[in-house]
Amino acid sequence: MAGLELKGFNVYATQWGMGAAVFSKKGLAGIIFPQDNERLLKEEIAGRYDRLQHDKTLGLELTSTLGRYFNGEKVQFVYQLDYGQATEFECKIYDTLKSVSYGETLTYKELAQCCGRPKAARAVGNAMAKNPVPIVVPCHRVL
């Protein structure tokens, strides 16, 4: 059920299980993909976000939107984001990537060029691996 509480996190439901959205005072700080069971979800939360100050009130709309997204609906994500410990360049990568539309893809090199550092394709790849808010920042569109 979308919007269930789990120790300060907003939980969303999909056909693949339950996931969670994490909000800090600054905005959306993390998305946890659906897990097979509640124990796995709690372990993922504990492993990644145990030291974050949570603000669960910000996430009710997002968890509903994530549930619809994972159930095949086309949705838009317009949220204040908290990239945590990301570098300035990683933040620029994430902000640039938010403008890539449904059905579009680009390469690591193309994204590096868009961010003004054409030789930084490897850094783009590393940033994609560390993306704290997948789906909202669509790293799955970078090849």
Residue 88 has pLDDT above 90, yes or no: yes
C-beta separation of 138 from 97 below 8 A: yes
Any idea what the Cα angle at residue 49 is, between residues 87 and 70, rounded to 5°? 90
Domain 88-141 is of which CATH architecture?
Orthogonal Bundle (1.10)
Average pLDDT for 6-17: 73
pTM here is: 0.75
- Answer yes or no: 115 catalytic: no
Name the residue ranges covered by the structural domains of the chain.
Answer: 4-70, 88-141
Position 57 scores a pLDDT of: 63
**Average per-residue pLDDT in the chain?**
82
Q: In whole angstroms, what is the distance from residue 112 CA to residue 36 CA?
A: 35
Q: How far are the Cα atoms of 51, 84, 117, 120 from residue 135, in angstroms, in the given order? A: 23, 17, 24, 23
CA 5 vs CA 8, 13, 48, 76, 142: distances in Å: 6, 12, 17, 23, 32
What is the four-CA torsion angle of 41, 65, 21, 4, rounded to 10 degrees?
A: -60
Residue 118 carries which side chain, given as an amino acid letter? P
